[in-house]
Amino acid sequence: MSAKPDLKIVLCSPRGFCAGVVRAIDTVERALDKYGAPVYVRHEIVHNKYVVDGLKKKGAIFVEELAEIPESTTAPVVFSAHGVPKSVPADAQSRNLFSLDATCPLVTKVHREAAIHFKRGREIFLIGHSHHPEVVGTLGQLPPGAVTLIETAEDAKTITPKDPNNLAFVTQTTLSIDDTAEIVALLKERFPNINGPHKEDICYATTNRQLAVKKVAPVVDALIVVGAPNSSNSQRLREVAEREGCKIAVLAQRATDIDWSKFGNIKSLGITAGASAPEVIVEEIMDAFAERYTLHVETVSAAEENEFFPLPRQVRPEAAAE
């Protein structure tokens, strides 16, 4: 039996679950424990099939709209980590649904910023990707037409505001740091008086995972991002790896997604995971490579993370004692 070839694995740190994702998943699990099945969840709680399938097995029912939820239910309804338009909680209230808001606090921060700018009479730009649920939720915080979406640098170059001296911008939390910096620079060049966030809107987890990939991508032959195709932060990690010169940068939801023909002659492999991807899949993918290679594993770290977001009050452990 021939010896397996050596393969250096470089793990990006941090990777995987962020505090907002942990909070969202815990919200559904605590609701199931406390109130029993079913628990309805509007939209995927986070963009990861493994996580969603696991919660389905425990009794969560995923819907895209509240209209899919039975009229007479007393079951909890959880809003996903991405946030929802204001019309959704209003609809839930009008139907007397018991709702739990698992919106990431960093997304809520963007909602509040947009509301303050609107109150001050400013025209608002939102830098983000159209149809992403986070963007839909942020646009839905304010009346139609109050927020204009900017998706590309070209949009930033050509947009014509009503009053160039009365502008503000907010951003989606899961964007490419570099792409967003370019768009912001263009806006500030064109509109020097534009108001931006005091602390940037791209969340710490997106930033840190991209910084780790920037360190690893130039020194490996290939890089795998564990994450879903509809996960914005995972797609950005793949793009960052390509931009940093990694010739093979792919997204994989599970080990079964790996196209082994792409990895035939590699000597080194970087692995990271999007903020909604569990560590168990990183281990699954490493096990799949261990069947074909002798692994030598090291970790490259870009930042320490110790953020924690408290759960919604209704499902906190102390709520049972109140």
Can you tell me the distance from the alpha carbon of 251 to that of 216, in angstroms, rounded to the nearest whole number? Answer: 16
127 and 61 within one domain: no
| Known binding-site residue numbers for dimethylallyl diphosphate | 47, 82, 132, 231-233, 276
pLDDT at res. 2:
65
261 and 281 within one domain: yes
CATH number at residue 95: 3.40.50.11270
pLDDT at res. 321:
45
| Segment 269-311, tens digit of pLDDT | 999 999 999 999 999 999 999 999 999 999 999 999 999 999 9
Residue 230 falls inside a structural domain: yes
Residue 309 falls inside a structural domain: no
26 and 11 within one domain: no
Contacts made by residues 156-159, CB under 8 angstroms, sequence distance 24+ = 156/183, 156/186, 156/187, 156/190, 157/186, 157/190, 159/125
Can you tell me the distance from the alpha carbon of 114 to that of 126, in angstroms, rounded to the nearest whole number? Answer: 9
Give the residue from 306, 284, 238 showing the smallest Cα distance to 19: 306
Residue 140 falls inside a structural domain: yes
What mean pLDDT comes out for the span 77-85? 97
Q: What are phi and psi of 271, to 5 degrees?
A: -135, 130
Give the residue from 144, 141, 301 showing the smallest Cα distance to 209: 301
Indicate the length of the chain as a whole number. Answer: 322
pLDDT at res. 198:
81
100 and 150 within one domain: no
| Segment 220-229, tens digit of pLDDT | 999 999 999 9
Residue 31 has pLDDT above 50, yes or no: yes
Residue 311 falls inside a structural domain: no
Please say which residue of 190, 225, 248 terminates a domain. 190
What mean pLDDT comes out for the span 137-141? 97
Residue 255 falls inside a structural domain: yes
Give the residue from 131, 132, 63, 126 showing the smallest Cα distance to 99: 63
Residue 318 has pLDDT above 80, yes or no: no
268 and 240 within one domain: yes
282 and 210 within one domain: yes
Cβ neighbors of 183 (< 8 A, separation 6 or more) are 127, 150, 152, 153, 155, 156
What mean pLDDT comes out for the span 20-33? 98
Can you tell me the distance from the alpha carbon of 222 to that of 166, in angstroms, rounded to the nearest whole number? Answer: 46
By mean pLDDT, which of 7-16, 191-200, 252-261 is the weakest?
Answer: 191-200
Residue 159 has pLDDT above 80, yes or no: yes
Domain count, the chain: 3
Can you tell me the distance from the alpha carbon of 236 to that of 208, in angstroms, rounded to the nearest whole number? Answer: 12
| Gyration radius of the chain's alpha carbons | 21
Q: In which band, very low, low, confident or very high, does the pLDDT at 320 lie, cut at 50, 70 and 90?
A: very low
Active-site amino acid positions: 134
pLDDT at res. 260:
96
289 and 245 within one domain: yes
Residue 134 has pLDDT above 70, yes or no: yes
Residue 78 falls inside a structural domain: yes
Residue 313 falls inside a structural domain: no
Can you tell me the distance from the alpha carbon of 46 to that of 154, in angstroms, rounded to the nearest whole number? Answer: 30
pLDDT at res. 1:
55
What mean pLDDT comes out for the span 250-267? 95
Please say which residue of 155, 190, 225 terminates a domain. 190
CATH number at residue 273: 3.40.1010.20
286 and 236 within one domain: yes
Range of the domain at 130: 106-190
Residue 113 falls inside a structural domain: yes
225 and 210 within one domain: yes
Tell me the three state secondary structure of residue 124.
Answer: strand
Give the residue from 257, 291, 226 showing the smallest Cα distance to 51: 226
| Known binding-site residue numbers for [4Fe-4S] cluster | 18, 104, 203
By mean pLDDT, which of 138-142, 154-158, 237-241, 260-264 is the weakest?
Answer: 260-264
208 and 297 within one domain: yes
What residue type is 308 in one-letter code? F
126 and 211 within one domain: no
252 and 289 within one domain: yes
Residue 102 has pLDDT above 50, yes or no: yes
Please say which residue of 160, 190, 220 terminates a domain. 190
